[in-house]
Amino acid sequence: MMLYNELQPADSYRIRMPYPFSNYDRQLLTLLYQPMVGPDAVSLYLTLWADGEMGSGDSTHYALMNTLGKPVKAIFESRIQLEAIGLLKTFRKDGEGRSFIYELCPPLDPKTFFADPLLSMFLFSKVGESSYRRVRDRFLIQTPLAEGYEEVSRTFTDIFQPVHAKSGYPADQQDFEARTDGKYEMEQDFDFALLRQGLSEQLVPKRVLTPAIRNFIVKLSFLYGFGPLEMQKVILLAIEDDYRIDEEGLRKAASDYYKMTVTTTAPKLEPVKEAEPTAKEPKTTQSSSNKEDELIAYLESASPIQVLRDIADGKEPLPADVQLANQLVTQHGMEPAVVNVLLQYVLLRTDMKLTKAYVEKIASHWLRKNVTTAKQAMEFARIEHEQYMKWKNESSTAPKRAPSSGRKPIREEKLPEWFNKKDEVETPVQGASSEQLEQEKQKMLAKLALKRRKGD
């Protein structure tokens, strides 16, 4: 999304704080949230907090830029970080002059924060084990009840009773202030119907999948990249003898299953890579370039497992394919976007067969060439297509049979739609450009253009 459509210095804003925050909220923000979103986002939050406490009216983002000493792009990036983590809600009104309302949300309390699998793992991946344990212990209850005491507090019904007078009911008032903790929103589709198909009622009764447990399953599925089939195994590991499931048991079972099937390295949460925003809108756009841009955005944002599902029309990929994709990312350090292009390219070229040796040979080539983006990987697949065809034929062990007509059969290779695009892209090789590589690239593009004109 272009920055021009999202935010400009002249746009006005006002701050909404439904209730005052405390110094305890400031501690939580600094110790728990700052390692995840960074000092720039926290600085923006504290600035909005101070302005909200002063009750200042409408202001422009240009004034905010001067206060923070940051360009509007940096302010926008900090804002969406706060929105994603649940600390800020943004409301926009379009018209002659675009305006915003920023509603500040307080951080979660420590018990809720550390019970959440995504937030706790996010913090762990940012600060490391020792710092994570230290900050967690800081919020433990330090003064438990002394021995020998028991609670004798009266309940509400012990002290109060209703009086049925005929004076009517109090007026209906709905707009009360309420403390809404900074809960983040998730957009994650999960097939619970497929999950239930592999779980018998005798082993896992439906009643144990409460709304809270279902929400926790969605979070774990997102964190570890598990589909319904993998989560079936996690639930079977977590179910207790008395047919109960709790969040802590699910968390441990998912962690153990991930270590057994994928890697012992904990997953990390990182911001989604987005296209660089531009200050001005393009005057003219072509449908072909728009389609390729949409494809690149999809390949940059989707996980390799999701790409495997989409290629298979929504069917769950085989564990061997998932393990191969995960190994390329976790063990070999390939970017997920590059793995997505590789999976799509190989599957469509090999009649939907994911041969490990062939995939690893191309992956090794891209790693040596330092291919890091989907755009670079797509261009490399176009340039090196003939070489990759030779590798495929060399690795094939099937005997060749001569056709009865005596003519050599022609087999058309199915290729991704993006393969025949000729848009100029950044050169994937870092460092000094190679004249020979450029000549080969132009020769290949000329051949492809000639084939298209002939209708091949």
Same domain for 24 and 103 = yes
The answer to whether 322 touches 305, Cβ cutoff 8 Å, is yes
254 and 294 share one domain: no
Distance CA 199, CA 210 (A): 15
Distance between CA atoms of 338 and 345, rounded to whole angstroms?
11
End-to-end CA distance of the chain: 36
Q: Domain with 60 in it: what CATH number?
A: 1.10.10
Q: Are residues 326 and 446 in the same domain?
A: yes
What does the longest C-alpha to C-alpha distance in the chain come to? 103
Whether residue 340 sits in one domain with residue 242:
no
| Structure token digits, residue 397 | 């062990």
3-state helix, strand, coil in the chain (%, to 5): 55, 5, 40
Q: What is the pLDDT along the chain (456 residues), one digit of tens a residue?
A: 467 788 888 899 999 988 888 999 999 999 999 999 999 999 999 999 999 988 778 899 988 999 999 888 999 999 999 999 999 999 999 987 889 999 999 999 999 999 898 899 999 989 998 999 999 998 887 677 788 888 888 887 788 767 655 555 565 556 656 666 666 676 667 888 888 887 888 788 888 888 888 888 888 888 888 888 888 888 888 888 787 888 888 888 888 888 888 777 777 777 766 544 444 444 444 555 677 778 888 888 777 877 888 888 777 788 888 888 878 877 788 888 888 888 888 887 777 777 788 888 888 888 888 888 888 888 888 887 777 777 766 665 445 454 544 554 444 455 566 666 544 444 444 444 445 555 555 555 555 555 555 554
* 71 lies in the same domain as 203: no
* Residue that is written with structure tokens 């100029």 in the block: 424
Contact in structure between 220 and 231 (CB atoms under 8 Å): yes
Same-domain check for residues 220 and 293: no
Phi, psi at 152, each rounded to 5°:
-125, 20
Q: Which of 80, 108, 136 is a domain's end point?
A: 108
The answer to whether the beta carbons of residues 342 and 311 sit under 8 Å apart is no
Tell whether pTM > 0.85. no
Strand segments (E) across 129-170? none
Q: Looking at the structure, tell me whether residues 382 and 450 fall in a common domain.
A: yes
Amino acid identity, position 11: D
Q: Does residue 349 sit in the same domain as residue 422?
A: yes
Give me the domain span that covers residue 335. Answer: 287-396+413-454
